[in-house]
Structure 1
C-alpha cells in the first residue's frame, strides 16, 4: 500500500471507525473494562471489546474478549518478566472475572497495536480481529481515544490490501475471502465456515467499510501468494508459542483451550490432571490428535 493511498483511505475510515467504536455497549462490559484498566493505573490507555460476545450480545456463560492498550510494557508491569514477555511475543493474555462474568484480555502497547494493524505485520492476529466490529469501552483521555481509532482504521485497509482482487461485484466478497485467508493463517478450532459467518453477523459493517475504501482503494501489495505463505507459516508457529506462554500467564489456560475447541468443533475433549500440572507438555501432546481429527486447522 502506498503512503498516499494509506493517508487518503485512513481519513475516511477513521470517521467511520470512530462512530462504530463509540456505539454503546452493555453496561456490564463497560464496568468490566474499567476494572481491567484500573489494574494498570496510569499505564492503561484504552480497552477494546470485540469478538463473538459482541456479535451475539450473549455474556452469561461466555468468555468475553478485550484488548488492553498500555503506554508501554515497563509502565504496565514494572521490572517484572512479564514486560519482556509482552515485548518479545506480544500480546500477553490474562483471565479476568468481574460481576459474575468471565473474560480474557490481551495486552499491547500503543506502538505495537499500531504496528500490528498495518500491512507490515508479520502475522494476521491483530488486524484480522480489528477489521471486525469493536467497541472502545474505556479510554484514559482523548489522546488515547484518537490513537486507538487511528490504529484500528489501519486494519480493514490492511485486509483490503492483502486480499486478492475480487471477481464479484458483491462488496461482501472481499471480506469473506479475506477472513477465509486469515483463518487459514492461524491454528483455529472454529468450523471451516466460521470466517463467512463473521461477515453474515453484521454485513452492513462490511458494506460501510467497502464504501469508505472505495473513495481511495488501497493498492494491492505485491507477491500476495508469497506473503500469505509467510503469514500462514508465522501464524501457526506463533499460535504454539503463545499457547506455551499463556500457560505461565493464564491460570487454567489448557481448560479454556479445551472448552473453546469443544464449543466450536463439536468435540468432547477432557483435560486430565497431569495436563493441568504440565500445561505446555499437555497442549503439545494434544495438538497432533486435534490436527488429525480436523478439530483445529
Structure 2
C-alpha cells in the first residue's frame, strides 16, 4: 500500500493547513509523522484517509486516488482516540460489529485478544469509557482492522504508561506477523522512536524532511568532557543545547563529524554519544529567531 503525495494543499478558508507537500511512502513500514501542534498532521492524515478533498495536488494510495473511492478507502484505517463510526450509546460489542462490516480484513479473534490485553469489556458502552479506555479501544479498532494502510493519530492519548507500552508491543508484534503500512502521529517521540523506520517531519503545513530514523539520528551528537575542551571542540558547530556540572560540560550538536573532527575529539578525551530523536525534532522545527 504505497502512498504518493504530490503538491498537496489543504485550505480552510484563508488558512492553509497543508502547503504544496510532496513525498512518497513505501509499503510495509512503520512511519512516524511528527510535527508541533497546528503543523497540519491531522489535516494530512484526513486527506490520506479520503475524509477530505484536497484543495490542490494529488494523493494516491496503492496507485489510486482516495477521495470518494470506496475501493481505495476500504484498505485504509484512520483512528483518532476511538473509531469515528462508534456512537457513545453503543456497546463495545456493537462498535466492533460495525467495524467488521467496513473491513474485509477485519480479524475478530485478534480484536478479542486486544480487548483482553487492555482489560475492556464487550458489554461496556463507549460513552462510559475513560479517556484511556477510549484510546485503548481506538487502538483495538486500528490494529484489528489489519488495513493495508493503518494510521493512528495520537491514538494513545490518555493511556497511562503501562498501557502505552502494551500498545507498542502489540503493534510491533502484529506488524511482524502481518506487515502493512503504519503511519503514527505522536508527541511522545522517544517512546515510539524504536518502532519508527522512517520519520516525516512537517511544520507550518510544509514538509521539513522525510528520512530514515537511523540516518536522522546520526546527525546529532552529544559531546561531553572538560568544559574548556568541549567549548573549543564545538566552536563553529551548530549547538542545540548545553549543560554544565562543575568542570564537566555536555553539548548537543547538529551535524555529522568528519574523520579529522573525530580524531580531535579522541585526542581531547571527549566522549561522543547519540542524542534523542526528540531533541533533533525540536531543533528542526524551532521557530526562526528562537533558541532553546
TM-score range normalised by the length of the shorter chain: under 0.3
Output the TM-score relative to the length of structure 1: 0.27
Output the TM-score relative to the length of structure 2: 0.27
Q: Could you say which structure has the larger radius of gyration? A: 2
More strand by share: 2
